Amino acid sequence: MSNTIRRPSPKVEPPFSEQFLPVPCLHGFLLSSCNKVFKYIFSLTLCLTFVTQCLFEYKTTTFNCTSSFKSIGPRVECFAKSYSRKNTQINISFDITRKLYDVKGHFEIKHRTLTPYYRVIINNTLDFCGFLNGTDKNVLTKWMISTVSKTVGKRIVHPCPYFGPIRIVNMTAENEMSAQFIKGYYKMTFIMFDDIDNNIITTIHETELK
């Protein structure tokens, strides 16, 4: 009888489509063929026969923030305003009162159509400081930071630590931000946290894509 010790197989990370989004062909969640951000990632998994066209209207119904105030000042402003019939601009303003060295973010997107029940399509925790400091290569984190930096510039997107005022003004959800999801209602929750504060700031964003 062999005395060979079986070592556990190394952990293999699932592909992006399985790690963050349901596979479109099997789950009915379809990305548009005009989506430039995800096209190269999903080139082998998209059901080309069933992809939708680019979305034509994006409407924010609710956008607000909450915080524990352990890490930021008492004044937090979060609001959305329409700048065209098709889109909305998002504004976020708060002051960080202690240096943040190891910030992570929990990102969740839910979708529904005509029923009142949402289903989760994205549910992930992202290491923002790890990515900004060069130790994490997460594709979804890269997309989110790239999208934000197009509006706010490099003055906010920099390696950790973070401290002082954060002002995101008139960030649009057009093109990459809308991600060309299929029509319906979406609820997006984003929670920033670290080892000291489990709710540095939470944003809840409800939208309708027509």
Range scoring the smallest mean pLDDT among 15-29, 49-63, 120-134, 161-175:
15-29
CA angle 19, 25, 29 (to 5 degrees): 70
Return the structure tokens found at 176. Answer: 């990459």
Summarize pLDDT for 89-123 with one digit per residue, the tens: 788 899 999 999 999 999 888 988 888 888 888 88
- Domains in the chain, number: 1
Could you tell me if residue 149 is inside a domain? yes
Query: Which tens digit of pLDDT belongs to each residue from 127-156?
Result: 889 888 877 777 777 777 776 676 666 677
Q: Which has the higher per-residue pLDDT, 200 or 18?
A: 200
- Quote the tokens at residue 50: 């069933």
Does 19 map to a domain? no
Burial of 72 (0-12, 13-18, 19+ CB in 10 A): buried
Residue 171 lies in a domain: yes
Residue 193 located in a structural domain = yes
> Domain for residue 13, yes or no?
no
Q: How far is CA 14 from the centre of its chain?
A: 19
Whether 120 is covered by a domain: the verdict is: yes
- The residues near 23 (Cβ < 8 Å, ≥ 6 apart) are 17, 45
**CATH code at 183?**
2.70.220.10
Close Cβ partners of 36 (under 8 Å, ≥ 6 residues apart): 175, 176
**Residue-level pLDDT at 16:** 31
DSSP tag of 90 = E
Phi/psi for 18 (5° steps) reads: -85, -25
Closest by alpha carbon to 99, among 197, 30, 10?
Answer: 197
| The residue type at 128 | F
The whole model's pTM is what? 0.65
The answer to whether position 37 is within a domain reads: no
Where in the sequence is the domain holding 205, given as residue range(s)? 58-209
Residue 63 domain-assigned?
Answer: yes
